[in-house]
Protein backbone atom coordinates (compact mmCIF):
# COMPACT_ATOMS: atom_id res chain seq x y z
CA UNK A 1 0.00 0.00 0.00
CA UNK A 2 2.80 2.37 1.00
CA UNK A 3 4.52 2.12 -2.32
CA UNK A 4 1.44 2.46 -4.51
CA UNK A 5 1.70 5.30 -6.94
CA UNK A 6 -0.69 7.13 -9.19
CA UNK A 7 1.06 7.67 -12.51
CA UNK A 8 0.53 11.27 -13.53
CA UNK A 9 0.68 10.85 -17.29
CA UNK A 10 3.09 13.78 -17.47
CA UNK A 11 6.12 12.53 -19.44
CA UNK A 12 9.27 12.94 -17.35
CA UNK A 13 7.44 13.78 -14.15
CA UNK A 14 6.89 10.43 -12.45
CA UNK A 15 10.64 9.73 -12.39
CA UNK A 16 11.01 12.73 -10.10
CA UNK A 17 8.64 11.30 -7.49
CA UNK A 18 9.34 7.57 -7.30
CA UNK A 19 6.86 6.67 -10.02
CA UNK A 20 3.94 9.01 -9.40
CA UNK A 21 1.93 10.72 -6.70
CA UNK A 22 1.55 8.59 -3.56
CA UNK A 23 -1.88 6.97 -3.84
CA UNK A 24 -4.40 8.72 -1.66
CA UNK A 25 -2.44 11.95 -1.49
CA UNK A 26 -3.57 15.49 -2.23
CA UNK A 27 -1.06 17.48 -4.25
CA UNK A 28 -1.07 21.20 -4.78
CA UNK A 29 -0.11 22.28 -8.28
CA UNK A 30 0.79 25.88 -7.82
CA UNK A 31 1.79 28.61 -10.23
CA UNK A 32 0.85 31.93 -11.78
CA UNK A 33 -1.77 32.33 -14.51
CA UNK A 34 -0.87 30.57 -17.74
CA UNK A 35 1.74 28.24 -16.26
CA UNK A 36 -0.26 25.15 -17.25
CA UNK A 37 -1.89 24.12 -13.97
CA UNK A 38 -5.21 23.20 -15.56
CA UNK A 39 -3.55 21.33 -18.43
CA UNK A 40 -1.37 19.40 -15.95
CA UNK A 41 -4.48 18.52 -13.97
CA UNK A 42 -6.55 17.37 -16.95
CA UNK A 43 -3.62 15.32 -18.22
CA UNK A 44 -3.56 13.57 -14.83
CA UNK A 45 -7.23 12.67 -15.19
CA UNK A 46 -6.79 11.54 -18.80
CA UNK A 47 -3.94 9.21 -17.71
CA UNK A 48 -6.24 7.79 -15.05
CA UNK A 49 -9.16 7.36 -17.44
CA UNK A 50 -6.94 5.56 -19.93
CA UNK A 51 -5.91 3.18 -17.14
CA UNK A 52 -9.56 2.62 -16.25
CA UNK A 53 -9.62 4.95 -13.24
CA UNK A 54 -12.50 7.34 -12.84
CA UNK A 55 -11.66 11.02 -12.65
CA UNK A 56 -13.69 13.92 -11.33
CA UNK A 57 -12.84 17.45 -12.41
CA UNK A 58 -14.31 20.21 -10.28
CA UNK A 59 -13.87 23.68 -11.66
CA UNK A 60 -14.91 27.06 -10.32
CA UNK A 61 -13.34 28.89 -13.20
CA UNK A 62 -14.22 27.44 -16.56
CA UNK A 63 -17.18 26.09 -18.43
CA UNK A 64 -17.30 22.44 -19.37
CA UNK A 65 -17.20 23.31 -23.05
CA UNK A 66 -14.04 25.42 -22.69
CA UNK A 67 -12.30 22.59 -20.89
CA UNK A 68 -13.29 20.12 -23.59
CA UNK A 69 -12.18 22.49 -26.37
CA UNK A 70 -8.83 23.05 -24.67
CA UNK A 71 -8.34 19.30 -24.18
CA UNK A 72 -9.11 18.65 -27.85
CA UNK A 73 -6.05 20.71 -28.81
CA UNK A 74 -3.95 18.10 -27.03
CA UNK A 75 -5.77 15.20 -28.66
CA UNK A 76 -7.80 14.30 -25.57
CA UNK A 77 -11.38 13.44 -26.37
CA UNK A 78 -13.02 14.13 -23.03
CA UNK A 79 -16.48 13.31 -24.39
CA UNK A 80 -15.48 9.73 -25.03
CA UNK A 81 -14.14 9.35 -21.48
CA UNK A 82 -17.36 10.86 -20.19
CA UNK A 83 -19.49 8.45 -22.21
CA UNK A 84 -17.50 5.58 -20.67
CA UNK A 85 -18.13 7.09 -17.23
CA UNK A 86 -14.41 7.45 -16.69
CA UNK A 87 -14.61 11.21 -16.40
CA UNK A 88 -17.00 13.72 -14.94
CA UNK A 89 -16.71 17.49 -15.15
CA UNK A 90 -18.53 19.57 -12.59
CA UNK A 91 -18.53 23.31 -13.09
CA UNK A 92 -19.56 25.19 -9.95
CA UNK A 93 -20.39 28.83 -10.36
CA UNK A 94 -18.93 30.67 -7.47
CA UNK A 95 -20.30 33.96 -6.21
CA UNK A 96 -17.94 36.90 -6.20
CA UNK A 97 -16.97 38.50 -2.96
CA UNK A 98 -19.38 41.24 -1.92
CA UNK A 99 -19.23 43.86 0.76
CA UNK A 100 -22.29 43.73 3.00
CA UNK A 101 -22.36 41.69 6.19
CA UNK A 102 -25.40 39.79 5.04
CA UNK A 103 -23.71 38.76 1.81
CA UNK A 104 -20.66 37.64 3.73
CA UNK A 105 -22.65 35.27 5.87
CA UNK A 106 -24.27 33.97 2.74
CA UNK A 107 -20.88 33.45 1.10
CA UNK A 108 -19.60 31.58 4.11
CA UNK A 109 -22.61 29.32 3.88
CA UNK A 110 -21.99 28.84 0.20
CA UNK A 111 -18.51 27.54 0.94
CA UNK A 112 -20.19 24.85 2.99
CA UNK A 113 -22.68 24.24 0.22
CA UNK A 114 -19.78 23.82 -2.19
CA UNK A 115 -18.12 21.28 0.11
CA UNK A 116 -21.44 19.42 0.40
CA UNK A 117 -21.73 19.39 -3.35
CA UNK A 118 -18.21 18.00 -3.75
CA UNK A 119 -18.96 15.41 -1.08
CA UNK A 120 -22.06 14.34 -2.95
CA UNK A 121 -20.21 14.03 -6.24
CA UNK A 122 -17.54 11.89 -4.56
CA UNK A 123 -20.20 9.64 -3.08
CA UNK A 124 -22.14 9.24 -6.30
CA UNK A 125 -19.38 9.05 -8.90
CA UNK A 126 -16.74 7.36 -6.70
CA UNK A 127 -13.69 8.65 -8.55
CA UNK A 128 -10.15 7.39 -8.00
CA UNK A 129 -8.73 10.75 -9.05
CA UNK A 130 -10.01 14.24 -8.38
CA UNK A 131 -8.99 17.72 -9.51
CA UNK A 132 -10.10 20.86 -7.74
CA UNK A 133 -9.44 23.84 -10.04
CA UNK A 134 -8.74 25.98 -8.14
CA UNK A 135 -8.53 25.86 -4.37
CA UNK A 136 -7.67 29.55 -4.50
CA UNK A 137 -11.11 30.31 -5.90
CA UNK A 138 -12.67 28.38 -3.09
CA UNK A 139 -10.75 30.15 -0.35
CA UNK A 140 -10.77 33.65 -1.82
CA UNK A 141 -14.53 33.43 -2.13
CA UNK A 142 -14.58 33.50 1.66
CA UNK A 143 -14.99 36.89 3.29
CA UNK A 144 -11.58 38.31 4.31
CA UNK A 145 -12.56 39.05 7.89
CA UNK A 146 -13.28 35.44 8.72
CA UNK A 147 -9.53 35.10 8.48
CA UNK A 148 -6.98 32.35 8.57
CA UNK A 149 -8.85 30.02 10.89
CA UNK A 150 -11.88 29.73 8.66
CA UNK A 151 -9.82 29.39 5.48
CA UNK A 152 -7.85 26.64 7.13
CA UNK A 153 -11.11 24.98 8.18
CA UNK A 154 -12.47 24.98 4.65
CA UNK A 155 -9.28 23.58 3.13
CA UNK A 156 -8.98 20.99 5.90
CA UNK A 157 -12.58 19.96 5.30
CA UNK A 158 -11.92 19.68 1.58
CA UNK A 159 -8.79 17.57 2.05
CA UNK A 160 -10.60 15.36 4.54
CA UNK A 161 -13.40 14.80 2.03
CA UNK A 162 -10.94 13.87 -0.71
CA UNK A 163 -8.93 11.56 1.51
CA UNK A 164 -11.89 9.85 3.13
CA UNK A 165 -13.11 9.07 -0.37
CA UNK A 166 -9.74 7.39 -1.01
CA UNK A 167 -8.90 9.62 -3.95
CA UNK A 168 -5.57 10.83 -5.25
CA UNK A 169 -6.08 14.48 -6.01
CA UNK A 170 -4.67 17.63 -7.50
CA UNK A 171 -5.62 21.00 -6.13
CA UNK A 172 -4.54 23.83 -8.37
CA UNK A 173 -3.58 27.05 -6.71
CA UNK A 174 -2.62 30.43 -8.00
CA UNK A 175 0.58 31.43 -6.40
CA UNK A 176 0.60 35.00 -5.17
CA UNK A 177 3.53 36.79 -6.76
CA UNK A 178 3.97 38.96 -3.71
CA UNK A 179 3.32 37.63 -0.26
CA UNK A 180 0.40 39.40 1.33
CA UNK A 181 -0.38 39.93 5.00
CA UNK A 182 -1.14 36.28 5.01
CA UNK A 183 -1.07 33.95 2.09
CA UNK A 184 -3.97 31.62 1.64
CA UNK A 185 -1.63 29.48 -0.40
CA UNK A 186 0.60 29.00 2.60
CA UNK A 187 -2.28 27.36 4.38
CA UNK A 188 -2.97 24.91 1.60
CA UNK A 189 0.74 24.30 1.10
CA UNK A 190 1.04 23.39 4.74
CA UNK A 191 -1.90 21.00 4.60
CA UNK A 192 -1.26 19.37 1.23
CA UNK A 193 0.78 16.16 0.90
CA UNK A 194 2.71 17.49 -2.03
CA UNK A 195 3.53 20.70 -3.82
CA UNK A 196 4.47 21.07 -7.46
CA UNK A 197 5.49 24.57 -8.37
CA UNK A 198 5.21 25.78 -11.96
CA UNK A 199 6.94 28.91 -13.18
CA UNK A 200 6.91 30.65 -16.55
CA UNK A 201 9.22 33.50 -17.37
CA UNK A 202 9.00 35.33 -20.69
CA UNK A 203 12.33 35.51 -22.53
CA UNK A 204 11.82 37.74 -25.53
CA UNK A 205 9.53 35.77 -27.81
CA UNK A 206 9.84 32.47 -25.96
CA UNK A 207 8.84 31.28 -22.50
CA UNK A 208 11.18 29.66 -20.02
CA UNK A 209 9.19 27.18 -17.94
CA UNK A 210 10.47 25.53 -14.79
CA UNK A 211 8.99 22.95 -12.44
CA UNK A 212 9.94 22.16 -8.87
CA UNK A 213 8.67 19.46 -6.57
CA UNK A 214 8.72 21.33 -3.26
CA UNK A 215 7.20 18.65 -1.12
CA UNK A 216 5.96 15.09 -1.51
CA UNK A 217 5.16 13.03 1.53
CA UNK A 218 6.40 9.43 1.51
CA UNK A 219 8.78 10.31 -1.31
CA UNK A 220 12.46 11.17 -1.66
CA UNK A 221 12.74 14.35 -3.68
CA UNK A 222 15.89 16.20 -4.62
CA UNK A 223 14.69 19.80 -4.76
CA UNK A 224 16.07 20.39 -8.23
CA UNK A 225 14.51 22.72 -10.75
CA UNK A 226 13.45 21.08 -14.01
CA UNK A 227 12.48 22.52 -17.36
CA UNK A 228 9.05 21.70 -18.70
CA UNK A 229 7.20 22.37 -21.90
CA UNK A 230 3.63 22.73 -23.02
CA UNK A 231 3.36 21.23 -26.49
CA UNK A 232 0.66 19.71 -28.69
CA UNK A 233 0.79 16.66 -26.42
CA UNK A 234 0.36 18.60 -23.18
CA UNK A 235 2.81 19.13 -20.33
CA UNK A 236 6.13 17.29 -20.34
CA UNK A 237 9.21 17.56 -18.14
CA UNK A 238 12.60 17.66 -19.82
N1 LIG B 1 -2.19 23.91 -27.79
C2 LIG B 1 -1.24 24.44 -27.02
N3 LIG B 1 0.05 24.26 -27.33
C4 LIG B 1 1.02 24.77 -26.56
N5 LIG B 1 0.80 25.49 -25.47
C6 LIG B 1 -0.46 25.72 -25.12
C7 LIG B 1 -1.55 25.21 -25.86
N8 LIG B 1 -2.68 25.60 -25.26
C9 LIG B 1 -2.31 26.32 -24.19
N10 LIG B 1 -0.97 26.41 -24.10
C11 LIG B 1 -0.21 27.09 -23.04
O12 LIG B 1 -0.81 26.74 -21.81
C13 LIG B 1 -1.08 27.90 -21.04
C14 LIG B 1 -2.41 27.80 -20.35
O15 LIG B 1 -2.41 26.65 -19.55
P16 LIG B 1 -3.45 26.50 -18.38
O17 LIG B 1 -4.79 26.94 -18.80
O18 LIG B 1 -3.30 25.12 -17.86
O19 LIG B 1 -2.85 27.53 -17.35
P20 LIG B 1 -3.30 27.78 -15.86
O21 LIG B 1 -2.05 27.73 -15.04
O22 LIG B 1 -4.39 26.87 -15.50
O23 LIG B 1 -3.79 29.28 -15.93
P24 LIG B 1 -4.94 30.00 -15.06
O25 LIG B 1 -4.32 30.29 -13.72
O26 LIG B 1 -5.20 31.23 -15.83
O27 LIG B 1 -6.11 29.07 -14.99
C28 LIG B 1 -1.10 29.04 -22.02
O29 LIG B 1 -0.56 30.18 -21.40
C30 LIG B 1 -0.23 28.57 -23.15
O31 LIG B 1 1.09 29.01 -22.92
MG1 LIG C 1 -6.39 27.14 -15.05
What pLDDT score does 187 carry? 74
Give the pLDDT mean for 195-207: 91
What pLDDT score does 178 carry? 45
Residues with CB under 6 A from ligand 1: 31, 33-39, 73, 174, 230-232
Closest ligand to C-alpha of residue 198 is 1
Domains in the chain: how many in total?
A: 1
Q: Nearest C-alpha to atom 10 of ligand 1 is from which residue?
A: 230
Percent of the chain with pLDDT over 70: 82
What pLDDT score does 179 carry? 43
Residue 209 lies in a domain: no
Q: Nearest C-alpha to atom 13 of ligand 1 is from which residue?
A: 34
- Give the domain range for residue 53: 25-197
Residue 170 lies in a domain: yes
Residue 88, φ and ψ in degrees, nearest 5: -135, 135
What pLDDT score does 92 carry? 86
Average pLDDT, the chain: 87
Q: What is the CATH classification number for the domain harbouring 112?
A: 3.40.50.300
What pLDDT score does 234 carry? 98
Residue 233 lies in a domain: no
Residue 185 lies in a domain: yes
Give the pLDDT mean for 13-32: 96
Q: Nearest C-alpha to atom 15 of ligand 1 is from which residue?
A: 36
Sorted by sequence, the CB contacts under 8 Å of residue 149 that are 6+ apart come out as: none
**Dist. CA 88–CA 65, nearest whole Å:** 13
The CA-atom distances, in angstroms, between 216 and each of 15, 83, 161 are 13, 33, 20
**How many angstroms does the Cα of residue 235 sit away from the middle of ligand 1?**
9
Residue 126 lies in a domain: yes
Residue 16 lies in a domain: no
Closest ligand to C-alpha of residue 39 is 1
Q: What is the DSSP letter of 15?
A: G
**Dist. CA 9–CA 235, nearest whole Å:** 9
**How many angstroms does the Cα of residue 36 sit away from the middle of ligand 2?**
7
**Dist. CA 110–CA 92, nearest whole Å:** 11
Residue 9 lies in a domain: no
Q: Nearest C-alpha to atom 16 of ligand 1 is from which residue?
A: 36
Q: Which atom of ligand 1 is nearest to the CA of 42?
A: 18
Rg (CA), the chain: 17
- Ranked by mean pLDDT, which of 149-158, 170-179, 206-215 comes out on top? 206-215
Q: Which of 29, 36, 196 to mutate to test the pocket of ligand 1 (most atoms within 8 A of CB)?
A: 36
Residue 130 lies in a domain: yes
Q: Nearest C-alpha to atom 5 of ligand 1 is from which residue?
A: 230
The CA-atom distances, in angstroms, between 86 and each of 50, 127, 129 are 8, 8, 10
Amino acid sequence: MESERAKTGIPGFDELVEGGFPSGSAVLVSGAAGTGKSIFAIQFLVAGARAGEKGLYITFEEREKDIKDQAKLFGWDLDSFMRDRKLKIVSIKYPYLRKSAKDMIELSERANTTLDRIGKELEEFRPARVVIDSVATLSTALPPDIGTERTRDVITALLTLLKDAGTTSILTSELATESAWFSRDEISEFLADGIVLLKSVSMGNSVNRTLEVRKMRRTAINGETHSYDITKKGVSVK
